[in-house]
Amino acid sequence: MVDIFERIENNMGPLGQYADEAEGYYIFPELEGELSNRMKFHGKEVIVWSINNYLGLANDSKVREIDANFALRYGTAYPMGSRMMSGNTALHSQLEQELSSFVHKKEAVLLNFGYQGIMSAIDCLLSRRDVVVYDAGCHACIVDGVRLHSGKRFVYKHNDMESLEKQLQTAIEIAGEYGGGVLVISEGVFGMRGDQGKLKEICDLKKKYSFRFLVDDAHGFGTLGHDGSGAGVEQGVQNEIDLYFATFAKALGSIGAFIAGDPSAVKFIKYNMRSQIFAKSLPSMIVGGALERLRMIVKSTSRKDKLWENVNRLQSGLKEAGFDIGNTNSCVTPVYMHGSVQEAMIMVKDLRDNYAIFCSIVVYPVIPKGMILLRLIPTAVHTFDDIDTTIKAFSAVKSKLENEEYKVTITS
């Protein structure tokens, strides 16, 4: 028999193995100061490209005043208990009504967290007779939700409709044998690559195959569509999406989530989702703040418009400077380079310490060996100066990378 703690100590996991040398800088870095385009890192001001504060609401002065007033009115605990038992309020119901209206669905139900929310929704919806088919590029929360499923599950190649159709044919055959149904899951925007899910093409397949369609639109909610109501609206298929999920942790700059769709499906989730039934209700302080944020973006698209001015300047500027930003058609801006993990670490340290640029880095095994991905999240509070300064810094470190200045020479 193996002692669990001894096993853990001998294998700390893909990230944990680097904890001693990386914690506090590369992993669990500490950004300080008010949430904004510029913050402090290790005592120095840096331009920050790693916060999903798309519309700049997280630290907006009016929003902070709203949050403070709700905190003063309700405190952090109210209401107590699960929503089903004692934690329901008119404020919760009002937010659900306005969310469903905004995303053009008939009903919505609030969820305490985004990660837990989508994971638990998948678990709730599927019986052991059902089959789930999901995109290979889906976020970890979806993968974890699929893992909870006791029935069959199939993954299709990222945004590959031929692969999806092949998996659908198998899934429908199996579901027919077991007396179950089929659920297809995609994302509105894939948060690593920045490309939108092929929602229209998937909806077109519903004419040929019988399945239900769930979309996680965490990065599209508030940023895509003429009114900010998401990727489904952007692609003209919101009515054909059966269940629409989004989180407050990005465009709204808060915490919580929701899922919207037809009344019967939403009602089933509301009455059967274990993570909501057996958990404390989302505090009214958070609910009230989310409601006012939603009303702000419904009233005006000015924040979204400013966001896209910045997105377009950043992405076009990077392309003009010769950078590969992949197939992004959202705010998420990946920058691909070639190099080793060691070179990537040295380059990021150079960016942070010498060029005052703070962005997220992604390396193998998340992406193929020899590739480096620097992931930028533009927001409405970034300035053109932030963007131009960043592109110049990226050009400088790219030149160093290509000239092998970040190569590590190992001597015996």
Q: What pairing do the DSSP bridges indicate for beta strands 182-187 and 212-216?
A: parallel
State the average pLDDT over residues 20-43.
92
Q: Which of 17, 20, 50 is nearest to 35 (CA)?
A: 50
Q: Which two tokens stand for residue 189?
A: 């925007």
**Residue 409 — very low, low, confident or very high, per pLDDT cuts 50/70/90?**
low
Half-sphere exposure in the Cβ direction for 187 (13 Å, CA): 24
Q: Tell me whether residue 28 is in a domain.
A: no
Contact 389, 354 (CB under 8 A): no
Residue 277 and residue 347 share a domain: no
Q: Is the dihedral of CA 195, 196, 200, 205 positive or negative?
A: positive
Q: Which of 107, 113, 383, 411 is nearest to 260 (CA)?
A: 107
Q: Tell me whether residue 20 is in a domain.
A: no
Residue 339 and residue 217 share a domain: no
Q: Is the pLDDT of residue 340 over 50?
A: yes
Q: Tell me whether residue 18 is in a domain.
A: no
Number of domains in the chain: 2
Which of 250, 283, 299 is the last residue before a domain boundary? 299
Report pLDDT digits (tens) over 195-238: 999 999 999 999 999 999 999 999 999 999 999 999 999 999 99
Q: What pairing do the DSSP bridges indicate for beta strands 212-216 and 243-247?
A: parallel
DSSP 295: H
Which of 299, 323, 356 is the last residue before a domain boundary? 299
* Dist. CA 382–CA 50, nearest whole Å: 12
Which of 282, 299, 316 is the last residue before a domain boundary? 299
Residue 271 and residue 309 share a domain: no
Q: What is the pTM of this model?
A: 0.94
Q: Which of 89-93, 316-320, 390-394, 407-411 has the lowest mean pLDDT?
A: 407-411
Q: Is the pLDDT of residue 411 over 70?
A: no
Residue 251 and residue 220 share a domain: yes
Which pLDDT score, from 0 to 100, does residue 370 have? 87
Q: Tell me whether residue 19 is in a domain.
A: no
Residue 214 and residue 286 share a domain: yes
Q: Tell me whether residue 312 is in a domain.
A: yes
Report pLDDT digits (tens) over 287-310: 999 999 999 999 999 999 999 999
Report pLDDT digits (tens) over 134-157: 999 999 999 999 999 999 999 999
Residue 224 and residue 125 share a domain: yes
Q: What is the largest CA-CA distance in the chain?
A: 70
Contact 336, 372 (CB under 8 A): yes
Q: What is the CATH number of the domain that holds 270?
A: 3.40.640.10
Residue 71 and residue 48 share a domain: no
State the average pLDDT over residues 265-273.
96
Q: Is the pLDDT of residue 412 over 60?
A: no
CB contact set of 390 (below 8 Å; sequence gap of 6+): 47, 49, 314, 357, 376
Residue 347 and residue 291 share a domain: no
CA angle, residues 231, 237, 238, in degrees to nearest 5: 65
Which pLDDT score, from 0 to 100, does residue 410 have? 45
Q: Which residues of 207-222 are buried (b: 16+ CB within 10 A; e: fewer)?
A: eeeebbbbbbbbbbbb
3-state secondary structure (DSSP) of residue 282: coil
Amino acid of residue 117: G
Residue 109 and residue 40 share a domain: no
Q: What is the CATH number of the domain that holds 308?
A: 3.90.1150.10
Q: Which of 296, 117, 314, 286 is nearest to 217 (CA)?
A: 117
> Range of 149's domain?
61-299
CB contact set of 271 (below 8 Å; sequence gap of 6+): 84, 277
Residue 320 and residue 259 share a domain: no
Residue 92 and residue 130 share a domain: yes
Residue 50 and residue 191 share a domain: no
